[in-house]
Structure 1
Amino acid sequence: MCGFRPFFLLTALHAVLVLLAWGGFLGFGLALPAVAGGPFVWHAHELMFGFGLAAVAGFVLTAVPEFTATPAFAPRVVLRLVLLWLAARAAFWLSGGLAAVAESWLGGEEGQAVARWIGHLPAALLEIGFACALLAAVAPRLWRDPERRHLGFQWGLAAMAMAVAGFHLDVLRGEYPMRWVLVGLGVMMTLVVVAMSRISMRVMHDALDAARARRLPAHTLRRDEEAELELPSYRARPPRRNLAIAAIAVHTVAEYLLPGSPITGWLGLGAAAAVFNLLNDWHVGRALFTRWAFLLYAVYWLLALGYLLLGLARLGAPLAPSAGTHLLAIGAMGLSILAVLCIAGRTHAGYPLDERPWVGAAAVSIVLAALLRAAAGLPDMPASALQLLATLAWITAFALAAWRLGVLFVAARVDGGAGCEEYHAPRAAEAVPP
């Protein structure tokens, strides 16, 4: 049981389930699970700490052994984490009902506080336990790596565990916990930058190699030097990446400490500028416009535009901050997770990258969902209709992913490879001349 298999499957299914429930609430007034803070907290929490954290778990449980040249995690480790994640979902969804039952027995103002603890404490313990257990599983391997090149994942997971803990502590104290979801969003954006820099190296190099192969005459035997001169190279440069991560982190801290302040507006513009600067690494010519390279490139555009709109909103522009927030949460997070499911999920399941049209349709649906939801934050726009259309577009994207990828996550490898290693092309295919 490779870590990506159950968690990537749960990621796709949860994305559909949560947004189906949310669409039913927005369009038809259907009831959502009763939780502290109300429906909007449930929706934001489940997308960030349910959907988002499941995708992160699947990625790090698969990537960290590869990055650190260590064995795959044992199935029992993965199973425990899966059960913790599922139990946390159930406990959170039932927390409001449990609190209501306890309050009916206890009564009074003091009884409300006790009932809140009775209802929510199981969810808090399970979800904090999941975040901490995930960190404990991967941190020793990251720290023991001689070069310690991938500690960004360790710090990101630690910050996410802190956001999860902060959310539940606010609930237990009777405070509105949405600020911690926004902290989690900022942490997720840093993890997106860290993860995309690893994935992009492989994707962009493959795209450039394919472009070089198309340019070279078939009879040439030694032509690598000539090819290198014809096409630029791609490097995910640490200074640009680290600047973007630092700018996003500073903006996240400022939003927590100074919510709504114009200072956060300027910092949002700074984060957008840092991500736009990061895009300069990608400008390598036509190779950028291949399917997988452009998919990852679009993630950074949505990331930059999200912080741009957040900055402008805090500085007085006539738009709601939710426009920028949803470009980040739906656009940058959603599209990056789709890319991870399609690239890391398929290759580690023993399949080549999928070139069928559904991938493009799913990616366009996520971008459309982000743009529609962002447009709902603009003045004089039909917000309810745009939110419903955005919900439908998101459901379409991840229903396609669950349909096309889900069967691969529960099936045996067919490429002759072993365990969780990447796809191995069959020998016959390797012997065919280009």
Structure 2
Amino acid sequence: MRFTTRDTLFDRLAARPLFMCGFRPFFLATAGYAVILLSIWLGFLAWGLGVPAVSGGPTVWHAYELMFGFGLAAVAGFLLTAVPEFTGTPALGRRVALGMVLLWAAARLAFWLSGTLGVVGEALAAVLNLGFLGALIALVAPRLWHDPERRHLAFLWGLGAMWLALAGFHADALGGLYPMRWVKVGVGVMMVLIVVALSRISMRIVNDALDAERLRRDGAAARRHGEDDDLPDYRARPPRRNLAIFGVALYTAVEFVLPGSVIAGWVALAAAAAVLNLLNDWHVGRALLSRWALMLYVVYWLMAAGYALSGLALLGVPVAPSAGLHLLTIGAMGVSIFGVLCIAGRTHAGHKLDMRSWVLLAAVGLVAAALARAASGLPGLPIAGLQAVSVAAWVVAYALAARYLGAVFLAPRPDSGTGCEEVLEEASPP
């Protein structure tokens, strides 16, 4: 690409392959920030190293950045690319991708410094973080709303709810209140967004796995003289999905209004049952054992287990409330985001899905991180050791993602594509 003397540094930077599509810088930032954030947290847990001073203390900094820093980076990368595809509208462009990731980075820096700068820092962090999410909503809302079928408005409602959770957090922080309750609201909204997003992605992944299984069975049937082994298509049915969304949203609301109550405990168990009911659509036989389908399937198990443990804790079972919460964040959120980075990130960058062993190693590491962190909340188990193992496993998993996916996001497409479309032809391995 040629540059002229009138091109600004911003233009020259935006012209790099990293900013070809919105998912590229945000997915790279997601993986890299996961490593940075949890490495700092490991230093705090294991050696007492300092973390940024924010309103509410170290745990609030960790939870906020995991949800509204790491989590929203992944959401932004997904929606900046998926919404134009879903609505049949033009890509948002390089300048938007660069501008949004710079705004995200500025919001991260502002929150890190918010405790040091006092009220001014708190206000700046609020403006930049709310401004980032508000800008994302402004970019995707017209496309989602004006789509003739309006099949994807759930993303817009989810983003609006997340903005309210973020606004509530900063209002509490500015008012001198402990703001963790709003992070928990953000967790609930994130679970809803995960269910909505995975319903779209799973239609492609599970049906691809079924196609591969049909080919295998066709060959086996031919050898058995024509035995019929036909398999039905997979469908993510709205009634089950909507029930799961309702259950998660209801628990989030009840826990916010009646924190620590027995009522919230029973609603949490109902939410777990609703998520497990959603899995009835997934029982497609051997095809479910393919790596991508199984990875997405595990997300729902982690989500259901997270709500189940949360409910049991509220009903008096001797387990720390944080056990269920971390199955949702480290587990369901961590594994689903990793899956989206691997699936949507590679295919929309012009690459076939990566079948190398590092993907399985990282996915298993994230599941192990969630289970170890949840186990640290059970009585009689070594809390510090399990927490350190959990954080270390998470860091290794996302370091692998940053290494192998970063090379994809920083490079031009290897196929004949010129934008954000899926892979157009067989590409050479990276």
1:312 corresponds to which residue?
312
1:247 corresponds to which residue?
247
Query: Aligned letter for 2:236?
Result: A
Output one character per residue of 1:240-273: Cα deviation in whole Å (capped at 9) or x when no partner: 0000001100000111111001111010000000
2:51 corresponds to which residue?
32
Matched, 1:198 2:200: yes
For 1:233 and 1:179, locate their aligned partners in 2 and report how far apart those are by CA, in whole Å.
41
For 1:278 and 1:151, locate their aligned partners in 2 and report how far apart those are by CA, in whole Å.
20
Query: Aligned letter for 2:104?
Result: W
2:13 corresponds to which residue?
none
Query: Which residue, 145, 150, 153 being the options, matches 1:151?
Result: 153
For 2:425 and 2:308, locate their aligned partners in 1 and report how far apart those are by CA, in whole Å.
43
Q: CA deviation at 1:92?
A: 0.6
Output one character per residue of 1:291-332: Cα deviation in whole Å (capped at 9) or x when no partner: 100000000000000000011111111101100000000000
2:330 corresponds to which residue?
330
Secondary structure, counterpart of 1:230 in structure 2: coil
2:27 corresponds to which residue?
8
- Root-mean-square deviation (CA, aligned residues, Å) is 1.7
Secondary structure, counterpart of 2:319 in structure 1: coil
Instruction: Answer whether contact 2:414 2:427 (CA < 8 A) is retained.
Output: no
For 1:228 and 1:30, locate their aligned partners in 2 and report how far apart those are by CA, in whole Å.
63
Query: Aligned letter for 1:155?
Result: W
Matched, 1:96 2:98: no
Instruction: Answer whether contact 1:212 1:227 (CA < 8 A) is retained.
Output: no
Q: CA deviation at 1:229?
A: 6.1
Structure 2 CA distance for partners of 1:274 and 1:228, relative to 1, 3 Å? farther
1:169 corresponds to which residue?
171
Output one character per residue of 1:356-390: Cα deviation in whole Å (capped at 9) or x when no partner: 00000000000000000001111121111111110
For 1:382 and 1:311, locate their aligned partners in 2 and report how far apart those are by CA, in whole Å.
23
Deviates more, 1:323-332 or 1:230-239: 230-239
Structure 2 CA distance for partners of 1:121 and 1:227, relative to 1, 3 Å? farther
For 1:183 and 1:4, locate their aligned partners in 2 and report how far apart those are by CA, in whole Å.
25
For 2:110 and 2:212, locate their aligned partners in 1 and report how far apart those are by CA, in whole Å.
49
Matched, 1:230 2:249: no
For 1:301 and 1:136, locate their aligned partners in 2 and report how far apart those are by CA, in whole Å.
34
2:352 corresponds to which residue?
352
Instruction: Answer whether contact 2:376 2:386 (CA < 8 A) is retained.
Output: yes
Unaligned 5+ runs, structure 1: 100-116, 221-225, 429-434
Query: Aligned letter for 1:46?
Result: E
Deviates more, 1:70-79 or 1:139-148: 70-79
Identity of aligned residues (%): 65
Structure 2 CA distance for partners of 1:175 and 1:420, relative to 1, 3 Å? same
Q: CA deviation at 1:31?
A: 0.7
Query: Which residue, 40, 47, 50 being the options, matches 1:21?
Result: 40
TM-score (norm 1): 0.91
Q: CA deviation at 1:168?
A: 0.6
Query: Aligned letter for 1:34?
Result: A
Output one character per residue of 1:198-217: Cα deviation in whole Å (capped at 9) or x when no partner: 00000011011111112224
Output one character per residue of 1:219-256: Cα deviation in whole Å (capped at 9) or x when no partner: 99xxxxx9996213211000000000011000001111
What is the correspondence of 1:35-434 to structure 2 with a 5 Å cutoff?
Answer: 35-99=54-118, 117-217=119-219, 230-426=230-426
Secondary structure, counterpart of 2:417 in structure 1: coil
Instruction: Answer whether contact 2:170 2:179 (CA < 8 A) is retained.
Output: yes
For 2:93 and 2:360, locate their aligned partners in 1 and report how far apart those are by CA, in whole Å.
34
Q: CA deviation at 1:427?
A: 9.8
Instruction: Answer whether contact 2:324 2:374 (CA < 8 A) is retained.
Output: yes
2:11 corresponds to which residue?
none
For 1:427 and 1:401, locate their aligned partners in 2 and report how far apart those are by CA, in whole Å.
20
For 1:132 and 1:257, locate their aligned partners in 2 and report how far apart those are by CA, in whole Å.
26
For 2:205 and 2:256, locate their aligned partners in 1 and report how far apart those are by CA, in whole Å.
35
Q: CA deviation at 1:426?
A: 3.6
For 1:119 and 1:340, locate their aligned partners in 2 and report how far apart those are by CA, in whole Å.
34
Query: Aligned letter for 1:4?
Result: F
Structure 2 CA distance for partners of 1:144 and 1:393, relative to 1, 3 Å? same
For 1:233 and 1:75, locate their aligned partners in 2 and report how far apart those are by CA, in whole Å.
37
Query: Aligned letter for 1:28?
Result: W
For 2:367 and 2:244, locate their aligned partners in 1 and report how far apart those are by CA, in whole Å.
22
Q: CA deviation at 1:83?
A: 1.3
Structure 2 CA distance for partners of 1:277 and 1:77, relative to 1, 3 Å? same
For 1:417 and 1:95, locate their aligned partners in 2 and report how far apart those are by CA, in whole Å.
43
For 1:229 and 1:245, locate their aligned partners in 2 and report how far apart those are by CA, in whole Å.
34
For 2:114 and 2:427, locate their aligned partners in 1 and report how far apart those are by CA, in whole Å.
54
For 2:93 and 2:284, locate their aligned partners in 1 and report how far apart those are by CA, in whole Å.
40
2:3 corresponds to which residue?
none
Corresponding residue pairs, total: 407
Query: Aligned letter for 2:22?
Result: G
Instruction: Answer whether contact 1:205 1:234 (CA < 8 A) is retained.
Output: yes
Query: Aligned letter for 2:42?
Result: G
TM-score (norm 2): 0.92
For 1:427 and 1:407, locate their aligned partners in 2 and report how far apart those are by CA, in whole Å.
15
For 1:49 and 1:11, locate their aligned partners in 2 and report how far apart those are by CA, in whole Å.
11
For 1:139 and 1:257, locate their aligned partners in 2 and report how far apart those are by CA, in whole Å.
29
Query: Aligned letter for 1:297?
Result: Y
Secondary structure, counterpart of 2:240 in structure 1: helix
Q: CA deviation at 1:16?
A: 0.3
Instruction: Answer whether contact 1:349 1:423 (CA < 8 A) is retained.
Output: yes
